[in-house]
A and B are shown apart, each in its own frame.
Chain A
Amino acid sequence: MKPPPLLVHVAVFIGAALIAAYASAAEEGGAPRAGSPRYRELVHIVRQDCGSCHGLTLAGGLGPALTPGALAGKPADSLVATIVGGRPGTPMPPFVGIVSEAEAGWIVDQLMRGFPADGGAGAPAH
């Protein structure tokens, strides 16, 4: 027996909505998709604002170098903890509330591979 056409439409609609919700949940606080606005924003924050102390090329400044060579062999989870919680007794502040733990994990992963170039801040939000 063929299902009624209206039911098919509703099922497809609900299915699509669920997929969309899942996809946006993955983006929300998770690792950003390459090219997404949040990706662009995180790259910009690391290059420019982390760069205030670690250098625009991440070769170091008041803070240590964050180049693949400098980070080689360092445990990723302690680097993630440093980003999220800061490092007491040093000028490294906690970025909790600014980046999620998953985003911090993505940043550490990218730093270890050689961080992407900054594409600018993007268009104004308003």
Chain B
Amino acid sequence: MSLQPARLAPTVLWAILLPAIVVLLSACGTLPQETRLRGTGDLGVVIERADGRVQVVETSGRSVLARVNGLGDLSHASVVFSRDGRYAYVFGRDGGLTKVDLLTASIAGRVVQGGNSIGGAISQDGRIVVAQNYEPGGIKAFDADTLELIADVPAAYGNEGRRSKVVGLADLPGNRFIYSLFDAGEIRITDLSDRGKPVTQTFAAGRQPYDALVTPDGRHYIAGLFGEDGLAMLDLWQPEKGVRKILSGYGRGEQPLPVFKMPHLRGWAVAGGRAYLPAIGRHEVLVVDTDTWQEVGRIAVKSQPVFVMARPDGREVWVNFAFPDNGWVQVVDTMSLGITDTLQPGRAILHMEFTPRGEEVWLSARDDNRVVVYDTKSHRQVAQFDAASPSGIFFTSRAARTGF
């Protein structure tokens, strides 16, 4: 046993160590920047599709707060939000599902769940995230906290073990999910209320459903059909009645015009008791009464409509178009069903997103590498910022809406 007294470090060393300790301890006392308190109600993400990156944005000051990298192939990416608006679940084309923490601007989880994916949905209770896949055709359900696989539901059809591409996925009340099978011409509802034991119902829909929407109340599901002149509608309050065709023969037997980009029905325009739907192969927006499901009008527009979206108050509907007319946007007045404005916000307008109460709309101008912000009262541009090849814009207000 040594009786030598413990040796203290030389005075010079203490002169260095003590201030260092003081600085480190005081740093622990102040919160790191990312945990500074803020709400999430005015946040959103902009997809920078070519770079596998998202911008975290806020709509109150119209600014980019941060960028998050490493999300894979984001062509045709879509996003759903956790019910508290903190996490964005980003579905990439390459099957990647990434959970992005908007407050810390970091990746909270990531799985590569499919080979070729087209989007996703989140359950009514916010606990289940579902991806819809082209390859392998089907849907997969994940725990929203951990991204652990809960259920794998193949879109198998026929007797030869074929699997269909899945489109038009939407959440329904009761932790159910509804989707369409492009190759099989079916609508299916998978009930995940008993998480481990998915139960699936099947309905015949029509030829080549390409996308779908659920009405804001979750009652009606409408699938657009590429291979038929009409749309398939299912009343989810009385599903036993089966699919009903609406707007049959809207093409009036005319030769359809070429469709250079499939319309998107998600992001719907249901306003004032009417649904506004892009015609396929016609340069028209179809207007249908949501009580009778009869056509009440059609609006001639500049080109093949892609997104037909209602301003949150329903007073206007904004329409963008397929290549090569994707530099145009038109505004429809929902009282007169006339076009009130024809705008050129930029080159290749891929997506539009209204602020939660609709005073502004953000548009992605892919070929100008920027996002432009328009005032929806004056229809004038009020701001813009750089974004690399932007496509989808998604605000956290979607977290509280069925079908988003």
Among the stretches B9-17, B79-87, B362-370, the one at the interface with A is: B362-370
Query: Inside 8 A of B369's CB, which chain A residues have their CB?
Result: 120
Q: Contact string, B294-323, partner A, CB cutoff 8 A, digits 1/0?
A: 000000000000000000000000000001
- Interface of chain A, helix or strand or loop or mixed? loop
Complexed CA–CA distance, A111 and B290 (Å): 46
CB-nearest residue of chain B to A54: B75
Are A91 and B226 within 8 A (Cβ)?
yes
Residues of B345-372 at the interface with A, using a CB-CB cut-off of 8 Å, are 347-348, 366-369
Are B182 and A124 within 8 A (Cβ)?
no
Q: Contact string, B212-228, partner A, CB cutoff 8 A, digits 1/0?
A: 00000000000000110
Query: Inside 8 A of A62's CB, which chain B residues have their CB?
Result: 134, 165, 182, 210, 262
Instruction: Write the nearest CB–CB distance from A45 to chain B, whole angstroms.
Output: 8
Are B75 and A51 within 8 A (Cβ)?
yes
Are B258 and A86 within 8 A (Cβ)?
yes
- Interface of chain B, helix or strand or loop or mixed? loop
How many pairs of residues, A versus B, come closer than 8 Å at their CB atoms?
72
Query: Inside 8 A of A51's CB, which chain B residues have their CB?
Result: 75
Are B76 and A57 within 8 A (Cβ)?
no
Q: Judge whether A49 is part of the interface by a CB distance below 8 angstroms.
A: yes
Instruction: Write the nearest CB–CB distance from A77 to chain B, whole angstroms.
Output: 21
Residues of B197-243 at the interface with A, using a CB-CB cut-off of 8 Å, are 208, 210, 226-227
Query: Inside 8 A of A98's CB, which chain B residues have their CB?
Result: 324
Are B323 and A49 within 8 A (Cβ)?
yes
Complexed CA–CA distance, A51 and B259 (Å): 14
Query: Inside 8 A of B323's CB, which chain A residues have their CB?
Result: 45, 49, 52
Q: Judge whether B380 is part of the interface by a CB distance below 8 angstroms.
A: no
User: Known: A91-B262, A93-B259, A124-B368. Is A59-B116 also a contact (CB below 8 A)?
Assistant: yes
Q: Judge whether A55 is part of the interface by a CB distance below 8 angstroms.
A: yes
Are B116 and A55 within 8 A (Cβ)?
yes
Instruction: Write the nearest CB–CB distance from B91 to chain A, whole angstroms.
Output: 13
| Interface residues in chain B, defined as those with a beta carbon under 8 Å from any beta carbon in chain A | 49-50, 73, 75-76, 93-94, 116, 118, 134-135, 165, 182, 208, 210, 226-227, 258-262, 323-324, 347-348, 366-369, 389
For this complex, 10 residue pairs linking A to B, each with C-beta atoms less than 8 Å apart, are A52-B76, A52-B261, A52-B262, A52-B323, A56-B49, A56-B73, A57-B73, A62-B210, A120-B367, A124-B368
Q: Which 4 A-B pairs have the closest CB atoms?
A: A56-B75, A121-B367, A93-B258, A49-B323
